[in-house]
Structure 1
Amino acid sequence: MTTITFFRLSFLLLFLSHAFSDLCNPQDKKVLLQIKKDLNNPYLLASWDPNTDCCDWYTINCDPKTHRINSLTIFSSTPDTNFSAQIPPSVGLLPYLETLEFHKLPKLTGPLPPAITKLTHLKFLRISWTNLSGPVPAFLSELTNLTFLDLSFNNLTGSIPGSLGNLENLDAIHLDRNHLTGSIPPSFGSFKSNPDIYLSHNNLSGTIPTSFKNLNSTVIDLSRNKLVGDASPVFGSALQRVDLSRNQFSFDLSKVEFAPSLTSLDLNHNKVYGNIPQVLTTLDLQFLNVSYNRLCGQIPVGGKLQNFDVYEYFHNKCLCGSPLPSCKN
């Protein structure tokens, strides 16, 4: 074998070895490189080298059988203030994407692009701790396979689109820590999958839709809003944790039907009245706070009600009994 022939054969073997080792779909790779460019080539994506297999790139996951990109998770363990960009429409060109995440990127700005609706296989969407602005897009309801939606800790404004109630596969929806206004859509009481609902730290107003009585969610957090009226519709049969604190709710606590599964109840800073019902002594409560309300009567003895601190009960109209001072005869 001549030297020239040897080198030709070696080059061919090297080429074939590289070709077979590069499992990433060429079109997916092209799209990813476009996404990197659209994001201004951030340091977080330094591993996205066009000369390497994109299935080995950081923040990327490929399906083990098809080798199509099914997960794109761009995040920083601490807030990355050098990552400055908007979410590019090019993310909508990864047709097999099931997970999309942008997290702890405070200089990620702008609205969520409509191109995201092209991701018909998307199940997990998290865009949190960013500077995402504009309204919560109604077009998210087109992502019918979503099981998890997290848009928390952003700068979203406007009202919550009722069309999100059409997402039939949701396990959880996080819209907390934004600047949302308006009322809670009645459609949120019609979720077929009974997702955990997090709407806290917004400027929501109005009453809780009566349709919430149809829910069997395990977690409902509506705290730190401007909600009013009767909150008893939230106490479904599967509820484990509920936080209604720092609103303006006004209802008779003694008439609420509590779920046996309830382990955490926070009602502090409202206008709740009546007395604390005896049934709470039968629950495995791990947390309770009813302070700053208008409750009266003796705190029932039994269960775990005496395990909580005085600060979980104080500043009520005429509540008494351990751990508060004894009731006057």
Structure 2
Amino acid sequence: MGRRRQALHGAALSLLLLAAAAHAQQTDPGDAAALNAVFAKLGQKALSSWNISGDPCTGAATDNTNIDNNPPFNPAIKCECSGGNASVCRVTRLKIYALDAVGPIPEELRNLTALTNLDLSQNYLTGPLPSFIGELTRMQYMSFGINALSGPLPKELGNLTDLVSLSVSSNNFSGSLPSELGNLAKLEQLYIDSAGFSGPLPSSLSKLTKMKTLWASDNDFTGQIPDYIGSWNLTDLRFQGNSFQGPLPATLSNLVQLTNLRIGDILNGSSSSLAFISNMTSLNSLVLRNCRISDTLLSVNFSKFTSLNLLDLSFNNITGQVPQTLLNLNSLGFLFLGNNSLSGSLPSSVGPMLKNLDFSYNQLTGNVPSWGNSQLNLVANNFGADISSNSGLPTGLDCLQRNTPCFFGSPKSSSFAVDCGSDRPISGSDNSLYQPDAATLGAASYYVTGEPTWGASNVGRFMDASNGSSIIYSSHQFLNTLDTELFRNARMSPSSLRYYGIGLENGNYTVTLQFAEFAFPDAQSWKSRGRRVFDIYAQVSVRSRTLT
């Protein structure tokens, strides 16, 4: 009996010691004060799961709870404790993600000097990215993506020499990238797309030889894409929507580990060939859209690209025929070759995965093979007038060829009105009857109304996000119009959406386009941080009604 009491007494003593140790483990007072101030200024509240009894570094902040992709733990922190029974805990991770935190970055953030991971993305932070960020020299992963930050990127970022990943995408920054970014020798991921930067890329970035991922699309970078990009260890490179000049650097051919390459909109300069991609056989997605490429498809042995799922070479000057080897790729699902100078007839078969093919605005001729359930856009080529009846394609394509007259000498209408995305006709205040436009338009598709009086074609794929539909709906009431019902639905297109008037009388026409924005709300929210950038053109056909 005495031994039993002694054992129980020992157990009680152990529990007491554990409790005492837990009580002695406390958050560094400076970190606690800084964290409280940051939360107060950004309108956030600490969660009880990691703020037990008012001490931040407790509970989920110090156990093995994973805070990544874990919505219940947001905002969240992680701490590291040291010092034995009287351990002091420092805040090493801070996440305030997609909570619409509003305001400038709090000054007190500079006091969290033990931070290695900071995620303030998808909020509505305003003002500059402060230079004191450069004082957080233990930082390894840092994201301010999708906010409303402005001003130049601070050169003090160059002090964060342990950085592995940096994201400042989708903000309102200005000016060029600071040359000090070249000091970040450990950097593997850099996300600067849609951030507002301009000017040439600094030569100092040549030192970032560990770089694996660079997203730099939708800025105003100028000059040529630097040769040093070819010396990096890239697997994902995105350079669309800038102001680069050609030619594409030959050193890109060294990037044989790339799985994703997207370059677009080379505005001027010399043309390029396709030779540099010959050894990039690990590619899953290849986009070289509007890159001033002058070449033939036969210059690359596409049979080696056994993982290629998407190929977009549209808006270039690619000539010659479409090779059968390209269409036979077992992995290829999306092929966009529109707006080139391809000629001849199409091959007789396609691979099992190839369901979306765009050959619009070329010089193709001959018969159209039957390719089963594939979506095929052949608008503005030189196929015969009986193209639809012989190919199993949607009717009306004969009205959408370059040199095939439709209703020649017998015009059918002098006007038409369309409510894009609508599923029913709507009478407008201008006395026009707006026809519905609810047809499913995929990544390479077209349709023509049954009369026919008009048609539409769509090209492009939503690469990173899609709800599976090309039509979206809004319940928002637009007060500054007499025709709010016209703005209930909208048709989305990731690349090119064209409407055609068919059988119109010769004469002068007034084209009226009405727009309303309802995808991006007018609010202090990260959801408002999109940009609507697009071109509109109206093209008039000649008297014989040929498409040019």
TM-score by length of structure 1 reads 0.79
Segments of structure 1 that go 5 or more residues without pairing to the other structure are 1-15
- Is the partner of 1:243 in helix, strand or coil? strand
The verdict on how the C-alpha distance between 1:260 and 1:59 changes in structure 2, with shifts beyond 3 A counting, is: same
Which of residues 317, 330, 339 is equivalent to 1:292?
A: 339
Residue 103 of structure 1 contacts residue 127 of structure 1 at CA under 8 Å; is this kept in 2?
A: yes
RMSD over aligned Cα, in angstroms? Answer: 3.3
Deviation at 1:318, TM superposition (A): 2.8
Deviation per CA, 1:138-163, whole angstroms, max 9, x where unpaired? Answer: 22121111121101111100012243
Segments of structure 2 that go 5 or more residues without pairing to the other structure are 1-19, 62-72, 83-89, 93-114, 370-375, 388-548
Which of residues 103, 111, 116 is equivalent to 2:152?
A: 111
Residue 46 of structure 2 contacts residue 75 of structure 2 at CA under 8 Å; is this kept in 1?
A: no
User: In 1, Cα distance between the equivalents of 2:32 and 2:212?
Assistant: 31
Deviation at 1:54, TM superposition (A): 6.7
> Match of 1:53?
56
Task: Please say if 1:234 is aligned against 2:309.
Answer: no
Residue type matched to 2:116 in 1?
Answer: N
> Match of 2:351?
304
Which of residues 314, 320, 326 is equivalent to 2:360?
A: 314
Deviation per CA, 1:250-298, whole angstroms, max 9, x where unpaired? Answer: 1122112332322110011111112222221134101110011001122
Worse overlay, 63-72 or 276-285: 63-72
- Is the partner of 2:169 in helix, strand or coil? strand
User: In 1, Cα distance between the equivalents of 2:360 and 2:252?
Assistant: 29
Worse overlay, 211-220 or 155-164: 155-164
> Match of 1:101?
143
Deviation at 1:182, TM superposition (A): 1.1
Residue 333 of structure 2 contacts residue 353 of structure 2 at CA under 8 Å; is this kept in 1?
A: no
- Is the partner of 1:225 in helix, strand or coil? coil
Deviation at 1:200, TM superposition (A): 0.7
User: In 1, Cα distance between the equivalents of 2:57 and 2:275?
Assistant: 52
Which of residues 4, 8, 26 is equivalent to 1:22?
A: 26
> Match of 1:11?
none
User: In 2, Cα distance between the equivalents of 1:123 and 1:104?
Assistant: 19
- Is the partner of 2:237 in helix, strand or coil? strand
The verdict on how the C-alpha distance between 1:60 and 1:91 changes in structure 2, with shifts beyond 3 A counting, is: farther
Task: Please say if 1:250 is aligned against 2:306.
Answer: no
Deviation at 1:62, TM superposition (A): 3.4
The verdict on how the C-alpha distance between 1:54 and 1:63 changes in structure 2, with shifts beyond 3 A counting, is: closer
The verdict on how the C-alpha distance between 1:272 and 1:156 changes in structure 2, with shifts beyond 3 A counting, is: same
**What is the 5 A alignment of 1:111-260?**
111-191=152-232, 193-216=233-256, 217-226=258-267, 228-235=271-278, 236-258=280-302, 259-260=305-306
Residue 202 of structure 1 contacts residue 225 of structure 1 at CA under 8 Å; is this kept in 2?
A: yes
Deviation per CA, 1:177-214, whole angstroms, max 9, x where unpaired? Answer: 111111100111111x2331011111111111111111
Deviation at 1:22, TM superposition (A): 3.1
User: In 2, Cα distance between the equivalents of 1:141 and 1:31?
Assistant: 30
> Match of 1:5?
none
The verdict on how the C-alpha distance between 1:70 and 1:20 changes in structure 2, with shifts beyond 3 A counting, is: farther
Worse overlay, 277-286 or 228-237: 228-237
> Match of 1:71?
117
Deviation at 1:89, TM superposition (A): 1.7
Residue 214 of structure 2 contacts residue 238 of structure 2 at CA under 8 Å; is this kept in 1?
A: yes
TM-score by length of structure 2 reads 0.49
Residue type matched to 1:273 in 2?
Answer: T
User: In 2, Cα distance between the equivalents of 1:319 and 1:137?
Assistant: 52
> Match of 1:275?
321
Higher relative contact order (CA 8 A, sep 6+): 1
Q: How many residue pairs get matched?
A: 300
Residue type matched to 2:211 in 1?
Answer: L
